[in-house]
């Protein structure tokens, strides 16, 4: 009988503890203003940090939340924010930031070519034995640095913003780098793996973004109303780009190309007016669900937990949110979170920021 009474007592204690844990978790959930559709139902986000493995090997990937990568044209930096903190004015929200400096090994000329950052990727390069950041700025500088030290590995000048406008970047598994150039209407792959500046170039009208696909061993690129698939050969002294297939996007002026983590046969593709889910096997574009499908989306991707991360200029939102970007019309001070079905969840916001792109930071490609 004593044992039965003791077991009953323990069960009662456990129930009370579970009640207080649930109550505390609920009270700590965060809500933020919906900056796009005033009548959307918000979903609460637990106020806790996800697990990250940013500096581990090629198998590294966040297990749930993933940090958020953002290119901030106000600070002229690339930045990594905590997914679980929505007030990015809180100093603890910013985990890492970078821009080229002479202290990191860049020349003064290269530093002057870094303005209006547009894109970056952090990938594991086995030949170099670690993670590296490849970053692109509208001013024309493409740079590779060790992560997280930021020390220069390689750099090249693609051309001035008036003639090229460097827009997108991808770091290939062997250390070569691919770029998308919008005003210049081309994509290019540099032999950066050996420190060389030799390259291969392919014409793509208004090229905006590139993404490596390890499953299909190809490079995807978007521009105008086209999604293109390229084979890349970097074994020789000069890379070789071979166009395999061109898919016609239903609407024009593609701006974004993002991985759909959890489904290696799907990609997010955004044009000037719509967002699509592209099926690699069927070669088809399906409108993204709910409020994922909006105009002028500059970046879109999802994390392994299913949360979709998206950026869209503040001037295109209805109503225009409080404390919008003070910068160019294509920027925002918010990075927005959505459910997979397109329901708004929350936003990471930094006062005075001018983010062009915000996306899931993941060292894995797909």
Q: What is the pLDDT of residue 284?
A: 98
Average pLDDT, integer, range 80-104: 97
Range of the structural domain that residue 213 is part of? 58-298+356-360
Phi-psi region of 240 (alpha: psi -120 to 50; beta: other; left: phi over 0): beta
Q: CA 48 to CA 174: how far, in whole Å? A: 36
pLDDT tens digits, one per residue of 310-364? 999 999 999 999 999 999 999 999 999 999 999 999 999 999 999 999 999 999 9
Query: Based on the number of CB atoms within 10 Å of its own CB, is 27 exposed (0-12), middle (13-18) or buried (19 or more)?
Result: exposed
Backbone angles phi, psi at 338, to 5 degrees: -135, 160
Q: Is the pLDDT of residue 137 over 90?
A: yes
Q: How far apart are CA 192 and CA 171, in angstroms?
A: 9
Does residue 328 form part of some domain? no
Whether 100 has a pLDDT exceeding 50, the answer reads yes
Q: What are phi and psi of 283, to 5 degrees?
A: 70, 30
Higher per-residue pLDDT: 318 or 34? 318
Query: pLDDT above 90 covers what percent of the chain?
Result: 80
- 220: which 2 tokens? 């995807």
Tell me, what's the pLDDT at 65?
Answer: 65
Interval 270-281 mean pLDDT = 98
Q: Which of residues 207 and 47 earns the better pLDDT score?
A: 207
User: Which tens digit of pLDDT belongs to each residue from 225-268?
Assistant: 999 999 999 999 999 999 999 999 999 999 999 999 999 999 99
Q: Evaluate if residue 191 carries a pLDDT over 80.
A: yes
Q: What is the pLDDT of residues 138-152, one digit of tens each?
A: 999 999 999 999 999
- Of 292 and 46, more confident: 292
Tell me the C-alpha distance between 270 and 266, whole Å.
Answer: 13
Asked whether residue 303 is domain-assigned, the answer is no
* Mean pLDDT, the chain, whole residue set: 86
Is the pLDDT at 35 greater than 90? The verdict is no
36, part of any domain: no
Residue 237 lies in a domain: yes
In a domain, 194, yes or no: yes
- pLDDT at position 151: 98
Mean pLDDT calculated for residue range 39-57: 30
Tokens for 242, please give them: 């071979």
Residue 95 lies in a domain: yes
- The pLDDT, as a whole number, for residue 252 is 96
What's the domain count of the chain?
1
Residue 33 counted as domain residue: no
Specify if 166 maps to a domain: yes
Q: What's the pLDDT at 59?
A: 35
pLDDT of residue 263: 95
Q: In the structure, what pLDDT confidence band is assigned to residue 62 with cuts at 50, 70 and 90?
A: low
Nearest Cα to Cα of residue 327 among 115, 97, 81: 115
Widest CA span in the chain: 86
* pTM for the model: 0.84
Asked if the bond preceding 195 is cis, omega within 30° of 0, the reply is no
Higher pLDDT, 44 or 277: 277
**To the nearest whole percent, how much of the chain has pLDDT over 70?**
82
Alpha-helix residue ranges (DSSP H) falling in 178-306:
none
The CATH number for 264's domain is: 2.130.10.10
Q: How confident is the model at residue 61 (pLDDT cuts 50, 70, 90)?
A: low
């Amino acid at each position: 009988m004593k044992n039965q009474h003791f077991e009953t007592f323990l069960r009662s204690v456990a129930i009370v503890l579970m009640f207080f844990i649930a109550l505390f978790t609920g009270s700590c959930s965060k809500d933020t203003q919906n900056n796009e559709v005033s009548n959307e139902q918000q979903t609460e986000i637990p106020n806790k940090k996800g697990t990250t493995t940013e500096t581990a090997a090629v198998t590294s990937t966040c297990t749930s939340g993933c940090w958020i990568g953002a290119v901030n044209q106000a600070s002229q930096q690339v930045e990594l924010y905590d997914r679980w903190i929505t007030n990015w004015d809180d100093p603890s929200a910013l985990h890492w930031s970078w821009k080229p400096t002479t202290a990191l090994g860049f020349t003064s000329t290269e530093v002057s070519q870094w303005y209006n950052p547009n894109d970056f990727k952090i990938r594991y390069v086995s030949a170099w034995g670690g993670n590296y950041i490849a970053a692109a700025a509208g001013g024309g500088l493409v740079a590779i640095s060790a992560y997280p030290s930021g020390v220069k590995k390689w750099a090249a000048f693609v051309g001035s913003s008036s003639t090229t406008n460097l827009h997108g970047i991808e770091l290939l598994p062997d250390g070569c780098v691919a770029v998308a150039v919008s005003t210049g209407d081309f994509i290019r792959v540099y032999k950066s793996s050996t420190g060389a500046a030799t390259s291969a170039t392919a014409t793509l009208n208004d090229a905006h973004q590139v993404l490596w696909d390890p499953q299909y061993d190809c490079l995807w690129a978007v521009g105008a109303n086209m999604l293109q698939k390229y084979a890349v050969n970097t074994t020789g002294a000069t890379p070789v780009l071979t166009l395999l297939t061109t898919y016609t996007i239903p609407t024009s002026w593609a701006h974004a190309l993002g991985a759909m983590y959890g489904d290696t046969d799907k990609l997010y593709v955004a044009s000037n007016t719509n967002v699509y889910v592209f099926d690699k096997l069927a070669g088809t574009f399906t409108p993204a669900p709910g409020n994922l499908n909006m105009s002028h989306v500059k970046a879109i991707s999802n994390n392994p937990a299913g949360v979709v991360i998206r950026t869209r200029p503040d001037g295109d939102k209805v109503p225009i949110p409080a404390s919008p970007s003070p910068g160019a019309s294509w920027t925002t001070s918010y990075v927005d979170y959505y459910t997979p079905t397109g329901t708004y969840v929350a936003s990471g916001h930094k006062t005075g920021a001018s983010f062009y792109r915000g996306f899931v930071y993941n060292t894995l490609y797909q």
